[in-house]
Structure 1
């Protein structure tokens, strides 16, 4: 009949929407699982990196302690020379003491310095030394007498005198070879400190020390473009 209605069966609305909401829930669950996996991997990577860093730091400390121990053993073969492990300093004591207002060293003192410097170079050129030793700073000191600037100049002259002793030529005892002098030029640095860090007495304050500076973790000793020979003459008289 024309007037008859055609009934179209419609599904339950909840039944139509149900598959959609199930899929969305599954998606959120998958994303959450993925997030947890990513975070777990990230945390594992961070933990691994920290662990590796700690291992490097521990090994670096051990290497520094080891080379300081080797410097200490080398110093024991020379009377009056000591290594202060806490300050990381080679102390020459009376073997490198200066007279009041002077920057000169006696022939015996120069001889001692030239005997010990090759010990430093040998340790610096070993694999351990190349890994941890950055440079050796020669530090000169004065007593408290006089002005700051005059003492600063004097302390620099005393540091320079030590370097001049290493580069000496002629007929002196235990003169360094040219390759040793080139190593000194690339490894040693001159520093002056006036009357800072003065000792208990004026005599003890008029001294020179060699302070060891060490590389940081993953740091390499800078390659120095070496100029062969041409060491020049000491400007100090």
Structure 2
């Protein structure tokens, strides 16, 4: 009688191969790992898509903010140009010629209209009525429809030519230009109609008008070798500045841009 070998007895115990069982388990484990990896990838892709969508929304909001600020600034500049042109036209009809600069932001009043004598800063009495008229027209025009609300400040700036002046306790042309601007402002403060200017306030609640002097440092005519050249620089400018974005507004925009860049870069 033939003796069966161990291998033959194992074959009779069943058809399953232990090696195939191990391979099947391995394939199941790999398939599970693949599925889990795929799920993780899908979740990450969804997170990235969500972040990208949020970033696009932030960019759109940022662009809208920029557009709104630019539109507001353009409208303010348009209103300012409209006011200065209207002031010049109304004064011209009364025989008072003033100049509006190319940027439509400065109204220049030659000091000859105010009768300042050489070295003097007092508005001549014979010219006081003309000075009052200028103030009244300015007050009337910028107060119409409260258009002054687009303005941040109106500077009443005094300017002289480059002829040396040693008076006013050594302050020279700087002191002379400053006191001339102050003198005009005081005429407006005390005159009916023109005195409305001192009551006007900016959106920040501060007085709308302020006074300063620059002496000969900001000439509009470089050639001062002739009397006509010097005369162009002897003037009082009304510089109208419009409300612009604050440092806080600009910082907020920069902060948003940094956040968007960081989100997109993740």
Q: What band does the TM-score fall into relative to the shorter chain?
A: 0.7 to 0.9
Match of 2:258 in 1: none
Query: Structure 2 CA distance, aligned partners of 1:123 and 1:28?
Result: 67
Match of 1:205 in 2: 233
Question: Aligned with 1:216: secondary structure?
Answer: coil
CA shift, 1:180, in A, is 4.7
From the superposition, tell whether residues 68 and 122 of structure 1 become closer, same or farther in structure 2 (CA, over 3 Å).
Answer: same
Query: Structure 2 CA distance, aligned partners of 1:160 and 1:60?
Result: 30
Greater CA deviation, 63-72 or 90-99?
A: 90-99
TM-score of the superposed pair, with normalisation by structure 2: 0.67
Greater CA deviation, 30-39 or 132-141?
A: 30-39
From the superposition, tell whether residues 28 and 128 of structure 1 become closer, same or farther in structure 2 (CA, over 3 Å).
Answer: farther
Q: Residue 192 of structure 2: which of 175, 192, 209 is its match? A: 175
Question: Aligned with 1:137: secondary structure?
Answer: strand
Conservation of the 8 A alpha-carbon contact between 2:80 and 2:240: no
Match of 2:128 in 1: 110
Question: Aligned with 1:145: secondary structure?
Answer: coil
Q: Does 1:128 align with 2:150?
A: no
Please say which structure displays the higher CA radius of gyration. 2
From the superposition, tell whether residues 84 and 129 of structure 1 become closer, same or farther in structure 2 (CA, over 3 Å).
Answer: same
Q: Residue 89 of structure 1: which of 106, 119, 122 is its match? A: 106
Q: Residue 163 of structure 1: which of 185, 190, 195 is its match? A: 185
Query: Structure 2 CA distance, aligned partners of 1:158 and 1:44?
Result: 55
Question: Aligned with 2:90: secondary structure?
Answer: coil
Query: Structure 2 CA distance, aligned partners of 1:85 and 1:188?
Result: 22
Q: Does 1:187 align with 2:208?
A: yes
Q: Does 1:53 align with 2:97?
A: no
Query: Structure 2 CA distance, aligned partners of 1:163 and 1:58?
Result: 33
Alignment: residue pair count = 211
Unmatched runs of 5 consecutive residues or more in structure 1: 169-173, 220-237
1:179-220 deviation per Cα after TM superposition (whole angstroms, max 9, x unaligned): 55433892211111011123342233222111112110379x
Question: Aligned with 1:189: secondary structure?
Answer: strand
From the superposition, tell whether residues 119 and 147 of structure 1 become closer, same or farther in structure 2 (CA, over 3 Å).
Answer: closer
TM-score of the superposed pair, with normalisation by structure 1: 0.74
Higher-helix-fraction structure: 2
Q: Residue 75 of structure 1: which of 80, 88, 108 is its match? A: 88
Conservation of the 8 A alpha-carbon contact between 1:143 and 1:206: yes
Q: Give the RMSD, CA atoms, in angstroms.
A: 3.1
